[in-house]
Amino acid sequence: MDIVKWLARAAISTTEWEASFGGYQPHPAAVISDEQFGKVFDELSDRLRDSTPFFHPRYAGQMTRAPHPAAVVGYVAAMLLNQNNHDLAGGPATTQMEHEVVGDLAAMFAMPAHIGHLTSSGTIANLEALFIARQTHPDRGVAFSADAHFTHERMCALLGMTAYPVPTDTHGAIDLAAVEKLLRTGAVGTIVLTAGTTGVGAIDPIADALPLKERYGVRLHVDAAYGGFFALLSDDDGNALEWDPAPWRAIRACDSVVVDPHKHGLQPYGCGAVLFADPAVARHYRHDSPYTRMFSGGPAHLGEITLECSRAGAAAAALWTTLRLLPLRRDGLGALLASTRRAALRFARRVEESSALTLYQQPSLDIVTYFPSAARTVSEVDAVSGRMLTDGMSRDPTDSIFLSTLRVEAAGFGGRGHRLDADAPSGRILRSALMKPEHELCADDLVARIAALAPPVARADGRVPR
């Protein structure tokens, strides 16, 4: 699609809508000439060139990508009207759109009943889930994987809840035996299960955790901020994509789930979402707001079920526009998720075939972790990985490559079968989030470029090939 054409149409549509209310005299203090703005815009454009090319397939680093052009146009069209989805009067159109897209997200997880809303980030969405956990299970703590996002420990501190980090297995998933040991003490009221850790993309055994909910009366919250949209592939038998769809099928039986449309949902920052299985949790949000129309008894006022007050209606419009084109189905947005999974599998196979790189662990989603094979100690892995990261980014823009690093414990290497001298407690390895469908088309080239950044591996006779 021609984004320039449709952004212009968005501006024209807004101008026509404004004209329908009749003209008015602008205040002289608010008038800016094109000449004045042109100078500022030129400076803005120049400064924005110092940005990271998230859009390009050679960006294979952090968990981010450029938003879909449809999302950008939808966002701008609503932003020009400055919609606020806290109150129905602040954004009648975008409030309805938000109800619709939240319903779509709930259907993606096959939640039979739900209440939920969009948020400004996954962090805020998880905060809301833990807030409800505190209200429903007062004086009880929260257990989560030691590899879960740091937001959970931070939000527990904010809410005055005790945090219980739980060890992980050799794949980076939470150890449910350790969780149950904690549950027997009665100190824990909520278990956070992660569907796609931000480090290695590990998936906690959500289905296996369901009996704990019944046995101990705890809440199960799923942090699917990163991996949530892979639920679109939950009807897969697991063979083609080499994965287990059971965790996504189990989400519907949990108490709450968080997902970030600004990751695999193709949205601009910031757009998170939180969904609760029990609509009755709305009672915990009750408050008095004398200047807004709240608690009408109907579904219209999203401010009744959010901790945030002002929220951009533009985020709802952007997601609504995108999902009209790429619906939450296997043959819609799911086709893009399948391509990123295939990209990760292909990328991982090429790493395994490379003499310059070693796969840290098999990918569970579309995050691949690896390190330079020439390194023999944890400190060497750290130093060489850091150097490869810097060298790739410092190349000419037409040849640059963008990676990220992940700091892992020395024991993590041995637990995954890598024989390295643990001369340091931890070290950085390389990490690539292959979030763009184009990564499926260029996985071979990406690995070749990355391998070229790595030092050569010495032969059996100790000589280094030229």
What does the alpha-carbon distance between residue 395 and residue 111 come to, in Å, rounded to a whole number? 48
- For the chain, the distance separating the N- and C-terminal CA atoms, rounded to the nearest angstrom, is 47
Which residues contact residue 186 at a Cβ distance below 8 angstroms, ignoring those fewer than 6 apart? 140
pTM of the model: 0.94
Given a cut of 70, the residues of the chain with pLDDT beneath it are 238, 288-300, 459-466
pLDDT score, position 302: 87
Per-residue pLDDT reduced to its tens digit, 25-34: 999 999 999 9
pLDDT score, position 240: 82
Element (H, E) at 78: helix 69-79
Q: Are strands 367-372 and 426-433 parallel, antiparallel or unpaired?
A: antiparallel
**Both structure tokens of 217:** 């009366």
Q: Please state, in angstroms and as integers, the Cα–Cα distance from residue 377 to each residue in 358, 388, 424, 455, 456, following that order.
A: 13, 16, 8, 14, 15
Helix axis angle, 122-136 to 151-159, nearest 10°:
50
pLDDT score, position 299: 53
- The sheet carrying 426-433 orders its strands as 357-361, 367-372, 426-433, 404-409
pLDDT score, position 303: 84
Q: Are strands 256-259 and 219-224 parallel, antiparallel or unpaired?
A: parallel
User: Which stretches within 87-137 are classed as H helix?
Assistant: 92-108, 122-136
Q: Please state, in angstroms and as integers, the Cα–Cα distance from residue 18 to each residue in 52, 78, 81, 87, 158, following that order.
A: 36, 13, 9, 21, 43
Residue 30 identity (one-letter amino acid): A
Average pLDDT, the chain: 94
**Per-residue DSSP letter, 58:** T
User: Which stretches within 20-66 are classed as H helix?
Assistant: 34-48
pLDDT score, position 293: 57
pLDDT score, position 466: 47
What does the alpha-carbon distance between residue 215 and residue 349 come to, in Å, rounded to a whole number? 41
pLDDT score, position 292: 62
